[in-house]
Structure 1
Amino acid sequence: MNNEKNQVQIELSAEVAEGIYSNLAIISHSSSEFVIDFVRLMPGIPKAPVKSRIILTPEHAKRLMFAIEENILKYEKQFGTIRTNDDSAAIPPFMAPGGQA
């Protein structure tokens, strides 16, 4: 079997490569999809815009969860434990209002 036929070439445009800063993710779901809204909260500004929305199948959401977990473990092995600030309970970094899309 030729591996070159099975490879996918991924293109990254300059605009997407810049990335989008987010300090809040709102995760909701239905029976067929997970929706992750990435939001940017700014001090003193009452409105927080959704900067990006990602829609995933449940299977891909679970794969993403495992991939993030694996990468956090690798990060912490190299750089040390990631601390979370318990004082930020008023605005958690990830929340699922109602859990429905």
Structure 2
Amino acid sequence: MHQKEKDIKIEVKVDESIATGIFSNFSNISHSPEEFVFDFIFVHPAPPPGFGKLMSRMVVTPSHAKRFLMTLGQNVREYEERFGDIDIHAVTDNGASLQ
């Protein structure tokens, strides 16, 4: 039997310090031949021009990055089916676009 055919159950232990998650309103993704780097940033708008703070960095293999992309795409489709289209042209209070 192939591993894909088996039910794999992994018990995930969550440390209390990360259980509540972090907030990010900006991200940056870079890559090399061996890994993808996801930076999650909080951009504080005040005082203008504001500042950004790196909140979390995730480094993954290329194959995991592709699985992440596929899973995120499926979740976005399900979200939009339930709640409507997501506006990707969000604008900050000072008129700047965060992308």
Q: Unaligned regions of 5+ residues in structure 2, if any?
A: none
Q: Distance in 2 between matches of 1:82 and 1:91?
A: 15
TM-align CA RMSD: 2.3
Percent identical pairs in the alignment equals 34
- The structure with higher relative contact order (CA 8 Å, sep 6+) is 1
- Number of the residue aligned with 2:60: 56
Q: Deviations over 1:36-91 (max 9, x none)?
A: 11000011254311000000101000100000000000111111111122657x54
- Number of the residue aligned with 1:67: 71
TM-score normalised by structure 1 residue count = 0.77
Give the length in aligned residue pairs.
91
SS of 2:40's partner is strand
Q: Distance in 2 between matches of 1:84 and 1:24?
A: 12
Q: Does 1:13 align with 2:15?
A: yes
Bigger helix fraction: 1
**Residue type of the alignment partner of 1:57:** T
SS of 2:69's partner is helix
Contact 2:45 2:51 in 1 (8 A): no
- Number of the residue aligned with 2:40: 38
Instruction: Please report how far the alpha carbon of residue 31 of structure 1 lies from its aligned counterpart in structure 2 after TM superposition.
Output: 0.5
TM-score normalised by structure 2 residue count = 0.79
Contact 2:90 2:98 in 1 (8 A): no
